């Protein structure tokens, strides 16, 4: 399945198309709104089932009409109605990106199978988005999201590929970076990679398989070193300071999962197969 192209679906009548796009856009934005709560609560160890949201500055209860994706941010002019504290642009952006992604991934013809594919691609995208922001802001990848990804990659992987692809991919994704980190620890006496990164690779391996996960490790380390060196050169960070590694893993897996043909062309160019 690909981004783009789905919008060009033919045959179902223009009114139905408008309805379908509206439905998928609204659904995507509602999930985006939920992911905003995940992004805020998971790193702070606040339960997602804890009922209502409060303003982080003045603790004012956020009413349902102040919690409408994108629209509320506009009519509140980006400020809390209680204390006037600024609301991060991240909130409407996550909702907007989720709405757009949902429409781009929308199936042409809606049935049980296409909805299953849509749920896979859309929820994986939402997890990637949440993990990316949480890692940049807090330098951690919450276990709950890694476990969710492992479940969805494992079950979807088993439907698409032979069992060996899933099992060996997951094992290599977990053990290869773990061994590397241990070797690094023995030589340098410090921990190189975070546990969250290793668990994320384990989950991704279930879907990407052996070759895919090795490519992911290779390309994300490559991307991470380029950006890391550039960041140090630009004096944005000090040499000893850690930069979150999750975003590099996520960018490479995003390409592998949503643009497989383009990624394959890229790997042929770089490594020759
Ligand atoms: Zn407030």
Tens-digit pLDDT profile for residues 18-55? 999 999 999 999 999 999 999 999 999 888 877 688 89
Quick check: 173 and 202 in contact, CB under 8 A? yes
Separation between Cα atoms, residue 213 and residue 217, nearest integer Å: 6
User: Tens digit of pLDDT for each residue in 127-138?
Assistant: 999 999 999 999
C-alpha 32 to ligand 1 mean position (Å): 22
126, 188: one domain? no
What single-letter DSSP state applies at residue 61? B
Q: What is the mean pLDDT of residues 168-175?
A: 96
C-alpha 270 to ligand 1 mean position (Å): 51
Q: Which residues surround ligand 1, an ion (CB under 5 A)?
A: 55, 57-58, 60, 80, 82-83, 85
Q: What is the mean pLDDT of residues 76-88?
A: 92
- Neighbour tally for 273: CB within 10 Å: 7
| Range name among 13-17, 25-29, 236-240, 260-264 with the lowest pLDDT average | 236-240
147, 262: one domain? yes
In the chain, the number of structural domains is 2
Separation between Cα atoms, residue 142 and residue 140, nearest integer Å: 6
End-to-end alpha carbon distance in the chain: 22
Which is nearest to 80 in space by CA: 97, 104, 63, 100? 63
C-alpha 81 to ligand 1 mean position (Å): 6
- Structural domain boundaries, residue 125: 1-138
C-alpha 93 to ligand 1 mean position (Å): 20
104, 7: one domain? yes
134, 154: one domain? no
CA torsion sign for 178, 184, 186, 190 is: negative
């Amino acid at each position: 399945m690909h981004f783009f192209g789905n919008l060009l679906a033919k045959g179902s009548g223009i009114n139905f198309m408008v309805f379908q796009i509206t439905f998928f856009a609204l659904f995507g934005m509602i999930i985006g709104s939920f992911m905003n709560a995940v992004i805020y609560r998971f790193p702070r160890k606040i339960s997602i089932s804890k009922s209502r949201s409060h303003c982080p500055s003045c603790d004012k209860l956020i009413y349902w009409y102040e919690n409408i994706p994108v629209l509320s941010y506009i009519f509140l002019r980006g400020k809390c109605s209680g204390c006037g504290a600024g609301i991060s642009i991240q909130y409407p952006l996550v909702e907007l990106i989720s709405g757009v992604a949902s429409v781009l991934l929308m199936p042409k013809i809606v049935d049980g199978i296409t909805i299953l594919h849509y749920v896979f691609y859309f929820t994986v995208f939402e997890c990637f988005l949440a993990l990316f922001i949480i890692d940049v802001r807090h330098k951690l990848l919450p276990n709950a999201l890694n476990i969710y990804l492992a479940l969805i990659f494992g079950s979807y992987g088993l439907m698409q590929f032979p069992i060996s692809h899933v099992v060996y991919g997951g094992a290599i994704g977990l053990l290869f970076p773990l061994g590397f980190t241990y070797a690094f620890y023995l030589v340098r006496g410090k921990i190189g990679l975070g546990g969250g990164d290793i668990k994320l690779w384990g989950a991704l391996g279930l879907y990407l398989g052996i070759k895919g996960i090795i490519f992911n490790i290779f390309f994300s380390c490559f991307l991470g070193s380029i950006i890391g060196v550039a960041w140090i050169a630009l004096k944005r960070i000090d040499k000893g300071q850690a930069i979150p590694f999750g975003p590099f893993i996520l960018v490479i897996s995003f390409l592998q999962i949503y643009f497989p043909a383009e990624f394959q062309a890229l790997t042929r160019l770089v490594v020759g197969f």
